[in-house]
Amino acid sequence: MKFGLITITLFLMSFITKDVKSYVFKHPKKKKVTVLLESENLGKFKKEKRGGDFYYSNLSNLGKNNINCSVLFYKLNKDEITNLVEMPKMIMGGPDTSPAYPLAYFSNYSKLKKIESNNSQWGKPDGDFMYRQADIKEIQGQKINQKHMYAYSMIDGDMFVNIHLSKINCKAKDSTKMKAILDGFKLIK
């Protein structure tokens, strides 16, 4: 009897829709390309132009999971195109655009690199996104158990996309939610 009630309850719960929201992220000068996210509510995003870059952040208005989320469209200058795209492409015999290029750049030049642990990367260099995750267990002796997850993409030959999620006091279930959010990002060309 209990098993039957549990089964019926789980079946009925599958029809209850979650608070799913669509988020659209665009760079004003790259309107033909959109980063789309279908996710649980992450709150409102603030837009900010930073020179040639464009930044979206929910830091001031987090959703119900208290997960920080930001999307950075990073415009490469001529020297960066040479050093971060053309040189690695030549060395690796890689494609003109690849998420591996922004993954390498942002991983190597992260301000948090010295205090990160449990680093891992996944994804394919010929896909739309590559991913990275790292933990920060403590800062200056203060335990924080912060999880950071990233998705990287490249638009045309001159723009990197850095998607960043983070959560302080992250538990295993939070990490699973963050991974699901990353999996919800799509690049629409």
Confidence of residue 140 (pLDDT cuts 50, 70, 90): confident
Bridge partners of 162, per DSSP, are: 72, 152
Which of 10-24, 71-85, 111-125 has the least mean pLDDT? Answer: 10-24
In percent, how much of the chain has pLDDT > 90? 73
| Position 78 pLDDT exceeds 70 | yes
Q: Phi/psi of residue 34, each to 5°?
A: -125, 140
Burial call 9-42: b when 16+ CB within 10 Å, e when fewer: eeeeeeeeeeeeeebebbbeebeebebebebbeb
